Amino acid sequence: MKVIICGAGQVGWQIARHLSGERNDVTVVDSNPDLVRRATDTLDVQGIAGFASYPDILERAGARDADMIIAATHSDEVNMVTCQVAHSVFAIPRKVARLRSQSYLDAIYADLYRRDHMPIDVVISPEKEVADAALQRLSAPAAFDTESFLDAQAQFLGLRLDEDCPVLNTPLRQLTDLFSTLRSTVVAIRRDGSLFAPDPGDQLLAGDDCYVISHVDDVARTMEIFGKHQAKQERVVLVGGGNVGLAVALALEARADRIRAKVIEKSRRCAERAADILERTIVLNGDGLDSALLQEANISRADAVLTVTDDDKVNMLAAVRAKAEGCPFAIALINDPTLVPLMGPLGIDAYINPRATTVSSILRHIRHGRVRGVYSVGDAEAEVIEAEVLSTSPISGQRIRDIDFPEGVLVGAVLQDGKVVRPTGRLRIEEGNVIVLFSMAKDVPEVERLLQVSIDFF
């Protein structure tokens, strides 16, 4: 597949890394020559320095025979014009644009992106993706990572195992025997910084990060088995009232189970805007690092604090300060993945990586054919893929134990006849089933081959 990626920032670079690693023909376009050079030096991609919306630049990037264009520059307007040029001049069949402004994303204007208006096939909103991720974290506070699959019937959970975890030093196959009715599967373990798909004989150790795919009705029991306590989140303090904080606060207001939220925003203009839009949420104007202001927000009585400013370091310090003031659970928005190892020592319970959520969202639309969902794990080290099994797939009609999956691939859940079932070795995968797979990044091309999705591209 020939892909042009416009914008060589963090998101563009990550997508280029994913796609070039899968032997696609990738060209990166950016107005900053240094970013283009970084991409061409570190990845197997071609690079063009110039403005992505210029037809001559797209021509040089190979737009005449490109299969897809992904417009992920920092400017919404550049992304929109790029897709228009890609359609009108070069007839590129698939166009993806990242749009941040809420005005462009309002549902009443969705008609704007029709083929005969502004031809964008897929609109990605980082703020909306991050807000959704934040709500996911709040729904499972004992997990440091979480994502929904199979129409919210299955949950992917990242759990850090403590010394008091009841199932330490137990082989995974023994766990299956001990909890035979539990619809949960351990699909990955991170130990000493390395992520791997475990064998049935592998044991869980204290300090491991364990990734589990569980039926949504069994999440509470799964947490209990792994020594995690699920506390109900009824009071939440948000530090940061920008687009992300506002989206989270609005989503909390719309929920049936009443959650009391307070927003702390440093900018007076942003705070006034948030106060005008929000109906039941208290908005405080001030610094989220100010101890007196945190006390005014009743941080010691809050169940969770969510720090979502546009500064990673402020988010980390605000989370630490909130915990020092008595808040039991802190989630921080972290753009820079090199800061993530500091989360544990600082006592921050969970983090949201906007780059990973946006990349996951874009990958969902890049993966061929019947792939319904993709979630990027860690620093693009692995993916959780949800896909429908086609009649042409080599795995259709086979038992799981007979399928020649690569070592780095495990089946986490299967949807059969509308029900989520645990994937045992004797379970037969049938045409029309939807499966959730964990795959190390290097094994994704083989997974796509086994799903036989390339014949069903559009």
> Taking the complete model, does pTM exceed 0.75, yes or no?
no
At residue 25, the 3 state secondary structure works out as: strand
Burial of 220 (0-12, 13-18, 19+ CB in 10 A): middle
As a whole number of angstroms, the distance between CA 68 and CA 384 comes to 23
Report the percentage of the chain scoring pLDDT > 90: 48
The more confident residue out of 410 and 257 is 410
Domains and CATH numbers, the chain: 2-124 (3.40.50.720), 235-356 (3.40.50.720), 363-456 (3.30.70.1450)
- Provide the b/e sequence for 395-432 (b: ≥16 CB within 10 Å): bbebebeeeebeebbbbbbbbeeeebebbeeebebeee
As a whole number of angstroms, the distance between CA 47 and CA 266 comes to 39
Burial of 106 (0-12, 13-18, 19+ CB in 10 A): exposed
* 26 and 20 Cβ atoms separated by less than 8 Å: yes
What pLDDT, in 10s, does the model give residues 311-336? 999 999 999 999 999 999 899 999 88
For residue 375, the tally of other CB atoms under 10 A from its CB is 24
Q: Is the pLDDT of residue 302 over 80?
A: yes
Least confident of 14-18, 222-226, 285-289, 355-359: 355-359
> What number is the average pLDDT over the span 297-306?
93
DSSP for 233-263?
Answer: --EEEEE--SHHHHHHHHHHHH-SS--EEEE
Q: Is the pLDDT of residue 41 over 50?
A: yes
Local confidence band at 455 (pLDDT 50, 70, 90 cut-offs)? very low
DSSP for 388-444?
Answer: EPPTTSTTTTEEGGGS---TTEEEEEEEETTEEE---TTPEE-TT-EEEEEEEGGGH
Tokens 């462009």, located at residue: 104
Local confidence band at 107 (pLDDT 50, 70, 90 cut-offs)? low
Q: Is the pLDDT of residue 38 over 70?
A: yes
* 7 and 27 Cβ atoms separated by less than 8 Å: no
What pLDDT, in 10s, does the model give residues 45-94? 999 999 999 999 999 999 999 999 999 998 999 999 999 999 999 999 98
